[in-house]
Amino acid sequence: MTETVFTYAAPALKFGRGAAAEIGYDVRAWGARRVLLVTDPGVAATGHPERVAEGLRARDLQVVVFDRSRVEPTDVSLEEAVAFARAEGPFDAVVAVGGGSSIDTAKAVALLVTNPGELMDYVNAPIGKARAPQQPVLPLVAVPTTTGTGAESTTICVMDVLALMVKTGISHAALRPRLAVVDPALSATQPPGVLAAAGMDILCHALESYTARWYGDFDAKQPEQRVPYCGSNPIADLWSERALGLLATAFRAAVHDAREGRDGSEAAEQMALAATFAGLGFGNAGVHIPHANAYPIAGRVQDFRPADYPQDEPMVPHGMAVALTAPEAFRFTFDAAPERHLRAARLLDPAATGADGPGLLPDVVASLMRDIGIPNGLGEVGYGAGDVDALVDGSLKQQRLLATAPKEVTGDDLASIIGASLEHW
Amino acid sequence: MTETVFTYAAPALKFGRGAAAEIGYDVRAWGARRVLLVTDPGVAATGHPERVAEGLRARDLQVVVFDRSRVEPTDVSLEEAVAFARAEGPFDAVVAVGGGSSIDTAKAVALLVTNPGELMDYVNAPIGKARAPQQPVLPLVAVPTTTGTGAESTTICVMDVLALMVKTGISHAALRPRLAVVDPALSATQPPGVLAAAGMDILCHALESYTARWYGDFDAKQPEQRVPYCGSNPIADLWSERALGLLATAFRAAVHDAREGRDGSEAAEQMALAATFAGLGFGNAGVHIPHANAYPIAGRVQDFRPADYPQDEPMVPHGMAVALTAPEAFRFTFDAAPERHLRAARLLDPAATGADGPGLLPDVVASLMRDIGIPNGLGEVGYGAGDVDALVDGSLKQQRLLATAPKEVTGDDLASIIGASLEHW
């Protein structure tokens, strides 16, 4: 029996300039009195979190700020945030202002201040005990300040478990924020390198969701077996297609505007909308090979320090790590759903001159990457042919993601994809 | 200052054949033990509500059934349902199985079993006191058995207030169902006349949402002034456009299948998806002139008894009442947003041969109405030129809807629209 049912869920959304000033009203309408605001030091320095806190206080809410979220959260950093919230609480709601890291930190806090036990009780098995929350999680408002992660729409909290040197997470429907507030003014000042990498994350959310295995091609599930990520479906498709259409007109323009120092352009606002749409799509369909590969690509970095990011430690930004094997991943998945790959390519670049075939989407994606300054393959971020096996091993650990691919993915398949991604053009 | 913010909210959705069998799992996951199932006698006779109740009991839920929802609820019928629920409660959740009438009845019940006071305390002013709920409303699962109303996505409960002979309602974000379960098997046996009328409701939800005043063209609002219906916006557009695309291929085919006695065809399933999509659009954008006109058209009926509906009392079914002035309404609104009207027409009928102009969308809609057996104008349901003034008076009472039109609508404008709608072809 194959599956006949798909599910869809999303946070309520408030979108537009000025939206971040209204959060106090919404939180008060839920009956909240005491709010924990979660952010990170870099975002705190922009002043946006303090302005959000002022808006909360203006509605007679008590606000406690936790501004020590770690960029790329770890089990240790999340435990610190939870300990802070348990000590300073009780709270009635959590407001996260920042990128995916702050929002994911807030998800862990919202879960663990109302539920007993420790972080590892709720982390995905086999690393953790994968316990489901027994008590309602605190309502969470997610206020993204980078355009890309989609964390405001999703049900996952991603973390590095330091002692095991492995990336895993907590995944449960209860972690989805109740309200996403997307105010383009908060993401108006991203430098071009950040906008390019984050934009590739948006693009891959849309492309991976759109090419994910069709929900009806999975085995039929019992209701208790359903997960938030159910494969491509008529609703996720809608979001993915529209995100691709927005990226087609806005992505190069937004990076160009950022290079010229024009903050808050129309194109940047369209990127915020594209990020939201792609998040709503992948938050229900799921992602696959490029995201699976991104884990070891980011995790095994040696020396690469990208422009427009802090230079104090080597890193491959998440969106860049996702992008680096995307063209070859979509060449591999082409034959599982040719018409979807071709349609995605035409949506992303209606003027593409390539012939319909396995190379069209890879060419369109690589051309975009080149134009916006993404490195030309894994070679540029420090990997060589000798690293392929280790990267494959890392990807194979992400079976939850690989299962969403539209066809079976073996270690040899991954070795081909990663090996062909050392240089794209 | 014009508006810069739009909002979007939707129930979680479970869509597909077999979805209605899983509700017990979902309701249990919310912690519920005792559930009120709300339906009406006609739907109860199909056996669907009893099968849903069995599914709930199989998950160890106690189920009490209220099967006396009135088709076209009144203040009296809603008060009866509330009295029943208050006497038989407490309940932890409400499951509505039926058309818009059962779902709206369940909304009133979910509100009034946890909140003090009486129905009229919460009804829109000036008829009622427009009080906002102070306590959380019971979580509601909406299980539509007709494809059309969109009640599973919306925040309104519509009723006739008998003593005043006026149609009004309760409108609050808290009334939106928590979960919509759309199982095409439950709407697979609609006769062709019902499918045609309900389908015109779907179509007008999409067309009115798509041509509604753009959210950014309203005056800027304070957060407490925001209503769920914020005018056309990038997200509502997405749903409306896709609903139109589904209707383009499925509507005539579904009516044809129903005429041939083929239940549960692919086209019928696409109609269920179109209904859901259009509901998600209009549940956030709003509807305007055709829906405003539908109130007096349905309310002042004298003798009309449509095929495939109960023949015991005269009626103009809601979707038919909405359709009857739609072509002329869209001719009137054309100049407020020509490109939207043309795009809607081309989505609904990609093969339309008419020239781009004010008549294209009216022609496409009227052609569809003729093909599926909708009456040829108000004349066929019993109205004449002498009734226009009274119909205009009734429409003018729906100022909340008329305010969503893309341009100002005067009584003279309505008289022209209604007068030209006596005969369409």
Mean pLDDT of A200-220: 97
CB-CB neighbors (< 8 A) of A25 in chain B: 223-224
A244 & A126 share domain: no
B120 & B215 share domain: no
Q: Is residue A12 part of a domain?
A: no
A140 & A243 share domain: no
CA-based nearest residue to A334, from A376, A374, A289, A375:
A289
Q: What separation in angstroms does the CA of A192 have from each of A199, A306, B180?
A: 10, 11, 42
Residue in chain B lying closest to A181 (CA): B7
Q: Assign residue B403 a region: left if phi > 0, alpha if psi is -120 to 50, beta otherwise?
A: alpha
Scanning the structure block, which residue is given the tokens 């691709």? A244
**Which domain-ending residue is among B152, B182, B212?**
B182
Mean pLDDT of A124-139: 93
**Which domain-ending residue is among B157, B182, B207?**
B182
B248 & B330 share domain: yes
**Nearest C-alpha of chain B: how many angstroms from A207?**
18
- In chain A, the percentage of residues whose pLDDT exceeds 70 is 100
Would you call B238 and A239 a contact, using CB atoms and an 8 Å cutoff? Answer: yes
Scanning the structure block, which residue is given the tokens 């980011």? A298
**pLDDT for the residue A147:** 85
The CATH number linked to A65 is 3.40.50.1970
What is B220-274 written as a DSSP string? P--GGG--S---B-HHHHHHHHHHHHHHHHHHHHHHHHHHTT-TT-HHHHHHHHH
B323 token code pair:
């359709």
Would you call A235 and B13 a contact, using CB atoms and an 8 Å cutoff? Answer: yes
Indicate the pLDDT class of residue B126, thresholds 50, 70 and 90: confident
CB-CB neighbors (< 8 A) of A22 in chain B: 5, 223
B310 has a pLDDT exceeding 90? no
Residue range A21-69, pLDDT digits in tens: 999 999 999 999 999 999 999 999 999 999 999 999 999 999 999 999 9
CB-CB neighbors (< 8 A) of B273 in chain A: 234
What DSSP designation does B319 have? H
Would you call B19 and A5 a contact, using CB atoms and an 8 Å cutoff? Answer: yes
The CATH number linked to A337 is 1.20.1090.10
Mean pLDDT of A181-201: 93
Q: Is residue A1 part of a domain?
A: no
Mean pLDDT of A271-299: 95
B249 & B118 share domain: no
Q: CB-based contacts of B231: which residues, under 8 Å, 6+ apart?
A: B6, B212, B213, B214, B215, B217, B218, B285, B286, B404
Q: Is residue B258 part of a domain?
A: yes
- Residue A117: Cβ within 10 Å count: 13
A162 & A30 share domain: yes
Angle at B352 between CA B349 and CA B355, to 5 degrees: 130
B66 & B177 share domain: yes
Would you call A25 and B224 a contact, using CB atoms and an 8 Å cutoff? Answer: yes
Between positions 218 and 277 of A, the ones with CB within 8 A of B are 223-224, 234-235, 238-239, 242, 273, 277
Q: Is residue A301 part of a domain?
A: yes
A164 & A199 share domain: no
A51 & A122 share domain: yes
Scanning the structure block, which residue is given the tokens 């320090």? A305
- In chain B, the percentage of residues whose pLDDT exceeds 70 is 100
Q: Is residue A8 part of a domain?
A: no
**pLDDT for the residue B221:** 95
Q: What's the mean per-residue pLDDT of chain B? A: 95
What is B110-178 written as a DSSP string? HHHTTS-S-HHHHSPTTTS--PPPSSPPPPEEEEESSSS--TTT-SEEEEEEGGGTEEEEEE-GGGS-S
CB-CB neighbors (< 8 A) of A234 in chain B: 15, 273
Interface A-B, measured as beta-carbon pairs within 8 A, has a size of 71
Q: Is residue A79 part of a domain?
A: yes
**pLDDT for the residue B145:** 94
Q: What pairing do the DSSP bridges indicate for beta strands B12-16 and A5-8?
A: antiparallel
Residue in chain B lying closest to A14 (CA): B7
* Cα A33 to Cα A203: distance, rounded to the nearest angstrom: 38
Task: Note whether B284 and B205 are within 8 A (CB).
Answer: no
What is A317-371 written as a DSSP string? -HHHHHHTTHHHHHHHHGGGSHHHHHHHHHHH-TT--SPSSTTHHHHHHHHHHHH
Residue range B334-373, pLDDT digits in tens: 999 999 999 999 999 999 999 999 999 999 999 999 999 9
Mean pLDDT of B190-205: 95
Scanning the structure block, which residue is given the tokens 């009296």? B76
Q: What separation in angstroms does the CA of A359 have from each of A62, A70, A325?
A: 56, 39, 14
B360 & B219 share domain: yes
Question: What burial class does residue B423 get, using C-beta atoms within 10 Å of its C-beta: 0-12 exposed, 13-18 middle, 19+ buried?
Answer: exposed
**Which domain-ending residue is among A128, A147, A182?**
A182
Residue range B227-279, pLDDT digits in tens: 889 999 999 999 999 999 999 999 999 999 999 998 878 999 999 999 999 99
Q: Is residue A38 part of a domain?
A: yes
Question: What burial class does residue A366 get, using C-beta atoms within 10 Å of its C-beta: 0-12 exposed, 13-18 middle, 19+ buried?
Answer: buried
Residue in chain A lying closest to B9 (CA): A12
CB-CB neighbors (< 8 A) of B26 in chain A: 223
CB-CB neighbors (< 8 A) of A16 in chain B: 3-6
A371 has a pLDDT exceeding 90? yes
For residue A331, the one-letter residue type is R
**pLDDT for the residue B227:** 87
A227 & A173 share domain: no
Q: Is residue A146 part of a domain?
A: yes
Residue-number span of the structural domain to which B128 is assigned: 18-182
Indicate the pLDDT class of residue A263, thresholds 50, 70 and 90: confident
B246 & B323 share domain: yes
Q: What's the mean per-residue pLDDT of chain A? A: 95
Task: Note whether A320 and A381 are within 8 A (CB).
Answer: yes
Between positions 12 and 41 of A, the ones with CB within 8 A of B are 12-19, 22, 25-26
Q: What's the structural domain count of chain A?
A: 2
Mean pLDDT of A264-273: 91
